[in-house]
Amino acid sequence: MRRAFAPNWPARLGLLALAVYSIWATSQLGITGERLATGLGEGGRFLARMWPPDFTRWELLVEGLVESMQIAVISTALGIILSLPLGLMAARNLAPAWLSAPTRGFIAVCRSLHYVIVAILFVKAIGFGALAGVAALTVASLGFVAKLFAEAIEEISMKQVEAVRASGAGPAAVLLYGVLPQVASRFIGFSLYQLDSNLRNSTLVGIVGAGGIGGTLFAAFKRFDYDFVAAILLAIIALIFAAEIVAGRIRAALQ
Amino acid sequence: MTQPILEIRGLVKEYQPGKPVLRGIDLSIGAQGITAIIGPSGTGKSTLLRCVNRLVEPTQGSIMMGGQDLARLRGGALRAARRRIGMVFQEYNLVERLSVMENVLTGRLGYVPLWRAWLRRYPREDLDRAFALLDAVGLPEQATRRADALSGGQRQRVGIARALMQSPALLLADEPTSSLDPKTAVEVMELMARLTGEAGVPVIVNIHNVELAKRFAVRIIGMTGGRVVFDGPPDAISNDHLSEIYGGEDWL
């Protein structure tokens, strides 16, 4: 009989190995049906204590949220400003190798550590508070935006750049007229996306002492004020939803 | 011939060492009219033009223009020389996200200070001239449209306006009609011939279409294998010459 579909033995063996390993690892971690049942029971009690959410300390809540928003906006702005030159310096089609290689290395270092780890480092280095949060999220933003910006520049049409250069324009004028028009809309898109994720991230850095609503949330957890925890979580969700709607509107307006 | 505007001597270009694309070109280009360079693809016509405005670095030889060797210029001196050499490209090479007006004014980037270019605060006479050129190329109402909204023929008209906006002493045109349909190709050539004739700007044009070359050029240069094998007026070119330039005769 002629065979219409070749069997993919490597894929079958791989899937089998994954299934076997998952079962083994589950038993190693002591995850049993019994453990799951207690866990679910605890979860139910926890949820019951969160209801109803307690908004009586709304001033504390608003203060934390405002600080988180400020951290997010400032760090996004700083990140974007730093990403512009870094992205240009990292683009291999515009910058010479001696410049692009170390810049790419620097951007990779900024991206390699999770922003919570960077926040802990900054809290240790420059002390508790919003400044550490701003510094940590700035590093995260420039890692993300500069990398995508450099990639966008590497995809531009060099023919358009060549034509501007042929007119006798200097390097800065070539950037202004030949390069930036080709990448401006994508750069704005990356920046908006980063503002969005910085809003989310800025609610977390407070847990390690770097300012914002996260600190309030962590304190509420430690005092078992689960109804206040619920209020904070609802407020964060509302903030993120609102930010997403605004970002969507801006994106649509830019199309 | 009048005083030449461009004197090319012993021009060699090797992209890879030992494999020259141009094998010693000697040419003088007069100060008037259209010089057409014909020849098969890959014979170095484009490289020759790009050596003149240094989009490509020559390996050897000299390119004299206005008492300067273009092949040796660097930095600011090179940019000052480039702004007197307009270029029209096969694929137009407009900056697609910029408006038609911004593309035309790109021809002034070598002249105006950076802040003016950035803030779009061009001198009044530059704007007047840009509008006059848009009128001349037949796009009087298109100044604020984005370049990527135009058709091929319209884009090449903008490309010509941009090149002339430089007030060039010489215009290079690299296959300006190859991406256009036959009718538009003739219209664009006519336009380029008329405007450069009025401005007294000599043109060097690479062109595939021998008929178009004969129709518009005062002089034809035939290249093959990185060398010049024919140089003379359009009516002097024969089928023998064409078969030497392009190889074979079946297509004639």
Structural domains of chain B, with CATH: 6-246 (3.40.50.300)
* Among the partner residues A159, A174, A184, nearest to B89 by beta-carbon distance: A159
pLDDT at site B2: 61
Say if residue A79 is exposed, middle or buried (CB neighbours under 10 Å; 0-12, 13-18, 19+). Answer: buried
Mean pLDDT of B5-21: 92
Please list every residue in chain A whose beta carbon sits closer than 8 Å to the beta carbon of residue B162: 163, 167
Q: B107 at the A interface (CB within 8 A)? A: yes
What residue ranges do the domains of chain A occupy?
Answer: 63-254
The reply to whether residue A172 touches residue B166, judged by beta carbons under 8 angstroms, is no
Residue A78: C-alpha distances to residues A71, A75, A86, B2, B213 (Å): 11, 5, 12, 60, 56
Is domain A63-254 classified as CATH 3.40.50.970?
A: no
Q: Do residues B150 and B158 lie in contact, with contact meaning Cβ atoms separated by under 8 Å?
A: yes
The residues, any chain, with a CB within 8 Å of residue A132's CB and separated by 6 or more, are: A119, A122, A123, A125, A126, A205, A209, A210, A211
B45 vs A: CB within 8 A = no
pLDDT at A54 over 90: no
A39 touches chain B (CB under 8 A): no
User: Burial letters for A177-212: b for 16+ Cβ neighbours within 10 Å, e otherwise?
Assistant: bbbbbbbeebbebbbbebbbbbbebbbbbbbbbbbb
Q: Is the pLDDT of residue B248 over 80?
A: no
Cβ contact (<8 Å) for A182 and B96? Answer: yes
Nearest-CA distance from A41 to chain B in Å?
60
DSSP character at residue B84: T
Residue A196 pLDDT > 90: no
Determine the average pLDDT of the residues in B136-149.
Answer: 93
% of chain A with per-residue pLDDT over 70? 100
- B46: closest CA of chain A, how far (Å): 14
Chain A interface includes B119 (CB < 8 A):
no
Q: How confident is the model at residue B144 (pLDDT cuts 50, 70, 90)?
A: very high
Report the DSSP pairing between strands B60-65 and B6-16: antiparallel
Rounded Cα gap, residues B107 and B109, in angstroms: 6
Q: Which of B79, B95, B107 comes nearest A178 by C-beta?
A: B95
Rounded average pLDDT over A53-68:
86
- Tens digit of pLDDT for each residue in B54-69? 999 999 999 999 889 9
pLDDT band for position B252 (cuts 50, 70, 90): low
pLDDT-derived band at A35 (thresholds 50, 70, 90) equals: confident
Establish, for the pair of chains A and B, how many residue pairs have beta carbons separated by less than 8 Å.
83
Give A37's pLDDT tier (boundaries 50, 70, 90).
confident
Mean pLDDT of chain A: 90
Judged by average pLDDT, the poorest of A154-158, A220-224, B62-66, B95-99 is A220-224
Mean predicted confidence (pLDDT) in A222-228: 88
Please check whether residue B234 touches A, CB under 8 A. no
Token pair for residue A83?
């990403």
What's the confidence (pLDDT) of residue B167?
94
Q: What residue type is assigned to position A128 of the chain? A: F
For residues A171-178, average pLDDT:
94
A160 near B CB under 8 A: yes
Q: Tell me what pLDDT residue B156 has.
A: 95
Measured between CB atoms, does A175 come within 8 Å of chain B? Answer: no
First vs last C-alpha separation in chain A? 56
DSSP B20: E
Residue A196's Cβ-side half-sphere holds a number of Cα atoms within 13 Å equal to: 18
Residue A167 has pLDDT above 90, yes or no: yes
Nearest CA in chain A to B107: A167
Closest to A167 measured CA to CA, from B161, B64, B184, B148:
B161
Residues in Cβ contact with B14 at an 8 Å cutoff, skipping those fewer than 6 apart = B20, B21, B59
Candidates A164, A166, A184; nearest CB to B53: A166
Mean pLDDT of A106-113: 91
Question: CB B85 to CB A166 under 8 A?
Answer: yes
A185–B contact, CB cutoff 8 A: yes
In the block, which residue shows the tokens 């020849």?
B39
Q: What Å distances lie between residue B128 and A2, A86, A200, B133, CA to CA? A: 76, 38, 51, 9
Helices (H), chain B: 45-52, 75-82, 100-105, 114-119, 124-136, 152-165, 182-199, 210-216, 239-246
pLDDT of residue B206: 94
Would you give the distance in Å from CA B153 to the centre of its chain?
16
Q: Give the pLDDT of residue A207.
A: 85
Question: How large is the average pLDDT for residues A212-234?
Answer: 88
- The model's pLDDT over B154-194, given as tens digits with 9 standing for 90+, comes to 999 999 999 999 999 999 999 999 989 999 999 999 999 99
Mean pLDDT, range A92-118, rounded to an integer: 92
Strand partners, B136: none
How much of chain B exceeds pLDDT 70, in percent?
Answer: 99
